[in-house]
């Protein structure tokens, strides 16, 4: 049987700590537990006593709708009774305090000096969940999801904050809706993007990372604008407008996929960025360009080279010498 002694009070204050895992490693800003009230005691052995307390939570930080704190002992002379080391607190305003709605019980060996500093409180921190790692193409939209985060202790309301832990060199990617569970961004450079989600319940916080890796994107071929050239002249092709979203180096492959009847036109160098050919017959020439980044080929791009109307060449024949009044025969 345990004897209640409500008139005895323990007034020594104790700052609350937040270890890792479910609990965080440092004291939540502005929170402390103290002003202990002894509400019951019972002798367990000749030197050991069960002591039961309530305590006050003081909040010098942000307002809380609720809080849960867990107790551990740092010395062997004090033992937390199993199942009796948790305190629940209701709403508290900044600068205010609230008494726990329940009690905690410890077994104290009174043959050893008792010091409240050997007790350690921990506020339950939320568990951040930034979602699974993702892959995405450069230029696409990546949707992040932190709704898997939980608040095991039920303290307060979760707030969310996304940030880049690292980005590829040269990236200017920016987050949208970074203070919601659902942030997004667009990878602008190939590589790995590591993002950190931090959730806070007003008493403690935790963080989790997610990595978004870009996948290889197919390059884009650009065979240049259509052209008009004269028959017999040299047509210069230009694939310099081709590009690769990932910034990979490109190789080029040109071909003449259609030429006028009778043409024997050939490209000067099918692997060059800007090959040439001679339009040896009037009509339409169609050149095709395919580029590759070494992994993926582009969709073919074509350019049309048309021969324009060439001015005729007049030939009146050779000059002649004739006798006056004789017939002159001209030949054009």
pTM: 0.59
Q: Which long-range contacts (CB under 8 A, 24 or more apart) does 160-165 make?
A: 160/197, 160/198, 160/199, 161/197, 161/198, 161/199, 161/200, 162/195, 162/196, 162/197, 163/195, 163/196, 163/198, 164/193, 164/194, 164/195, 164/196, 165/194, 165/195, 165/196, 165/209
> pLDDT band at 17, cuts 50/70/90?
very low
State which residues form the domain around 290.
227-307
Q: How many domains does the chain have?
A: 3
Mean pLDDT over all residues of the chain? Answer: 86
Mean pLDDT of 83-98: 88
Q: pLDDT digits over 21-76, tens only?
A: 333 333 455 788 888 899 999 999 999 999 999 999 988 877 777 788 889 989 99
Looking at the structure, do residues 149 and 118 belong to the same domain, yes or no?
A: no
Mean pLDDT of 292-308: 95
Last residue of a domain, one of 123, 144, 164: 123
Say what the pLDDT of residue 15 is. Answer: 35
- The residue among 302 and 28 whose pLDDT is bigger is 302
pLDDT of residue 241 exceeding 90: yes
What lies within 8 Å, CB to CB, of 182 at 6+ separation is 143, 144, 145, 146, 147
> Is residue 322 in some structural domain?
no
Looking at the structure, do residues 235 and 207 belong to the same domain, yes or no?
A: no
Looking at the structure, do residues 248 and 156 belong to the same domain, yes or no?
A: no
- The residue among 219 and 8 whose pLDDT is bigger is 219
Looking at the structure, do residues 112 and 174 belong to the same domain, yes or no?
A: no
Looking at the structure, do residues 163 and 248 belong to the same domain, yes or no?
A: no
Say what the pLDDT of residue 62 is. Answer: 72
Percent of the chain whose pLDDT exceeds 90? 62
Looking at the structure, do residues 112 and 20 belong to the same domain, yes or no?
A: yes
> Is residue 186 in some structural domain?
yes
- What is the CATH number for 58? 2.60.40
> Is residue 61 in some structural domain?
yes
Looking at the structure, do residues 24 and 103 belong to the same domain, yes or no?
A: yes
> Is residue 3 in some structural domain?
no
> Is residue 25 in some structural domain?
yes
pLDDT of residue 19 exceeding 50: no
> Is residue 11 in some structural domain?
no
């Amino acid at each position: 049987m345990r004897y209640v002694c409500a008139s005895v009070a323990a007034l020594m204050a104790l700052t609350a700590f937040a270890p890792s895992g479910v609990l965080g490693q440092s004291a939540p800003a502005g929170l402390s537990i103290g002003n202990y009230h002894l509400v019951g005691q019972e002798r367990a052995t000749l030197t050991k006593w069960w002591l039961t307390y309530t305590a006050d939570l003081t909040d010098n930080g942000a307002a809380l709708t609720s809080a849960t704190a867990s107790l551990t002992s740092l010395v062997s002379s004090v033992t937390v009774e199993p199942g009796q080391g948790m305190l629940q607190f209701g709403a508290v305003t900044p600068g205010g305090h609230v008494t726990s709605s329940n009690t905690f019980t410890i077994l104290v060996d009174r043959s050893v000096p008792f010091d409240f500093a050997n007790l350690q409180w921990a506020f339950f921190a939320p568990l951040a969940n930034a979602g699974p790692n993702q892959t995405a193409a450069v230029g696409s939209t990546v949707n992040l999801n932190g709704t898997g985060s939980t608040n095991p202790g039920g303290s307060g309301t979760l707030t969310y904050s996304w940030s880049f832990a690292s980005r590829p060199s040269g990236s200017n990617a920016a987050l949208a809706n970074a203070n919601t569970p659902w942030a997004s961004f667009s990878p602008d450079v190939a590589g790995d993007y590591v993002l950190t989600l931090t959730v806070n319940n007003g008493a403690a916080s935790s963080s989790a990372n997610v990595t978004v890796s870009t996948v290889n994107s197919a390059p884009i071929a650009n065979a240049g604008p259509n052209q008009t050239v004269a028959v017999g002249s040299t047509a210069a092709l230009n694939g310099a407008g081709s590009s690769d979203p990932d910034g990979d180096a490109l190789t080029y492959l040109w071909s003449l996929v259609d030429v006028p009847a009778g043409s024997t036109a050939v490209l000067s160098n099918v692997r060059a960025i800007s090959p040439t050919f001679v339009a040896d017959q009037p009509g339409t020439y169609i050149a095709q360009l395919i580029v590759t980044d070494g992994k993926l080929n582009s969709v073919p791009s074509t350019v049309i080279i048309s021969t324009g109307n060439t001015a005729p060449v007049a030939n009146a024949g050779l000059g002649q010498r004739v006798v006056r009044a004789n017939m002159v025969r001209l030949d054009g």
